[in-house]
Structure 1
Amino acid sequence: MKHTMEISGMRLLFDERLILSDVYMKIETGDTVGLLGRNGCGKTCLMRGVYGTLECEKSVIIDNISVYEAYKKPSLIRYLPQHHFIPKYLTLKRVFRDFAVDFERFTEFFPVFQLWENTKIGHLSGGMHRLVELYVIIKSDAKFILLDEPFTHISPVQIETIQSIIDEERSCKGFLITDHLFKRIQESCNQVYLLLNRKIHYVENEDDLKKMGYLF
C-alpha cells in the first residue's frame, strides 16, 4: 500500500524572527527526499515541527488523516535527531528489542557488532552509537522516517551500507533526509529541496543550487 504525507502551511516564529513561512512538501512511499540548507536556516525546526516536538503553525496529513503530535504515533513517523537519543545505560539487546528490530540482521551489515549484544550503548564510540541509532530508526516499523544529519560521524564505507539499507526500506516507507553536502544528498535521494529565505525550493541539478547561491 502506498502512503502519503503532505506538509503544508508550516510557519514558525521565534520572538519576532520568521524562521519558516508557508512551507509545503509532499512525500510518498518510495520517495527519499533530501533537504539542503545552510546552518541555522531552519532544517531541524522543519523536521521537529513535522514530528510535533516543536510547536508551530502547520498541517501534516498522513493518508488523509491530520496528525499534529506525530511523536506520539511511532507507527506513522520516526525521527532521528542530530544528538544522541538512546540512553547510554541500555544494552544493544534491549535497544533492538524495544525497537522490534532484528539484531542478527544488523550484524550481517556491520559484523563488528556480532559479539556486542550485551554491551551497553555507553561503551560504544560516538560513531558506533550513532550507527546503532540510525539503523534502528531506519528499520523501525513506521511509514515515514525523518533523518537529521544522519551521516555525521559515520565512515564512508558505513554511509554506503546505510544508503543501500535506505534503498531497501523505501519500498514501504518515505524518507526525509537533511545534510549539508549536496553530493551526499544527491547520492541518497530521488528528490532534492533547498530551504532558503524561509521557504522550500525544488532543486533539479547543481545549476539550480548555483543560481540560488547555495553552491559557487
Structure 2
Amino acid sequence: MSHKLEVDSIQLAFNDRRILSDIYLKCETGKITGLLGRNGQGKSCLMKIIYGSMPCEKSVRFDQKVQFEAFKRPDLLLYLPQFNFIPRSLSLKRIFKDFNLDFAVFQHRFPEFSSRYRSSVGSLSGGGQRLVEIYVIVKSSSCFAMLDEPFSHLNPMQIEKVKELLLEEKEHKGLLITDHMYRHILDLSDNLYVLEGGKTHLTKTIEDIEMLGYARL
C-alpha cells in the first residue's frame, strides 16, 4: 500500500524577514524526493516544520490526515537532523536494541563495525557515528524518513554504500533528502524540489535547476 506526505500553507518569518511563504511538497512511499537550495533558504527549517519541532502556520498531511506533531508518531515519520542526535554514551548494542534492529544485518553491510557491538557511539569516528544514525533512521519501520545532510562526514566508499541502502529502502518507505553534496541528490531522486525565495519549485530538467540559480551543472 502506498502512502503520501504533503506539505503546504507554511508561513515562517524571522525578524520581519519572510523565510518560507509559498511551499508545496509531496513525498510518496516508493520514491526518493530531493530538496536542494542555497544556504539560508530554509531547507532545515522546512524539515523541522514537517516534523513538528518548529512551530508555525502549516498544513502537514499523511494520507490526507493532518498531523501537527509528527515527532509523536515514529510509525509515520523519523528525522535525521544535521547534528548527531544519539547520546555519545550509548553503546551500539543499546542503540540497535532501542530501534529494534538486528546488528548482524548492519555488520554484514558494514563489516568495519564487526568488533564495535559493545562500543559507545561516541568512540566512533565522525563518519562512523553518522553512518549508525543514518542506518537506524532509514531501517526503522516508519512510513517516511527525512535526512538532513546525511553525507556529511562520510568518506566516498561510505557514501556509495549509503546510496545503495537508500535505493533499497525506498521500496518500503518515502524518503526526503537534502544535502549540499547535490550530485548525490541528483543521482538518487525520483522527484526534485529547489527551494528559492521562500518557494518550492518542482524541477523537471537540469536546465530548471540552472535557471533557478542553484548551480551550474
TM-score between both structures, scaled by the size of structure 1: 0.97
State the partner residue of 1:60: 60
Q: 1:71 aligned to 2:71?
A: yes
Matches within 5 A, 1:175-194: 175-194=175-194
- Structure 1 counterpart SS, 2:21: strand
- Structure 1 counterpart SS, 2:132: helix
Matches of 1:176 and 1:33 in 2, distance apart?
5
Matches within 5 A, 1:4-153: 4-153=4-153
State the Cα deviation string for residues 28-54 of structure 1 (Å, max 9, x = none): 111100100011110000000000000
Q: Which amino acid aligns with 2:163?
A: Q
Kept after mapping to 2: 8 A contact 1:206/1:215: no
- Structure 2 counterpart SS, 1:112: helix
State the Cα deviation string for residues 129-182 of structure 1 (Å, max 9, x = none): 111001100101100000000000111111111111111111120010001233
Q: Which amino acid aligns with 2:122?
A: G
- Count residues in correspondence: 216
Kept after mapping to 1: 8 A contact 2:151/2:181: no
How far off its partner does 1:110 sit? 0.5
Q: CA RMSD in A?
A: 1.0
Matches of 1:200 and 1:31 in 2, distance apart?
18
Kept after mapping to 1: 8 A contact 2:146/2:175: yes
How far off its partner does 1:112 sit? 0.7
Q: Which amino acid aligns with 1:182?
A: Y
- Structure 2 counterpart SS, 1:22: coil
Give the share of equivalent positions with the same residue, in percent. Answer: 47
Matches of 1:9 and 1:22 in 2, distance apart?
7
Matches of 1:101 and 1:64 in 2, distance apart?
30
Q: 49-58 vs 178-187, which deviates more?
A: 178-187
How far off its partner does 1:101 sit? 1.5
TM-score between both structures, scaled by the size of structure 2: 0.97
Query: Which runs of no fewer than 5 residues in structure 1 stay unpaired?
Result: none
Change (3 A) 1:46 1:8: same
Kept after mapping to 2: 8 A contact 1:2/1:172: no
Matches of 1:171 and 1:97 in 2, distance apart?
24
How far off its partner does 1:194 sit? 0.4
Query: Which runs of no fewer than 5 residues in structure 2 stay unpaired?
Result: none
State the Cα deviation string for residues 95-120 of structure 1 (Å, max 9, x = none): 01111111111011100101110001
Q: Tell me which stretches of 4 or more aligned residues in structure 1 moved more than 3 Å.
A: none
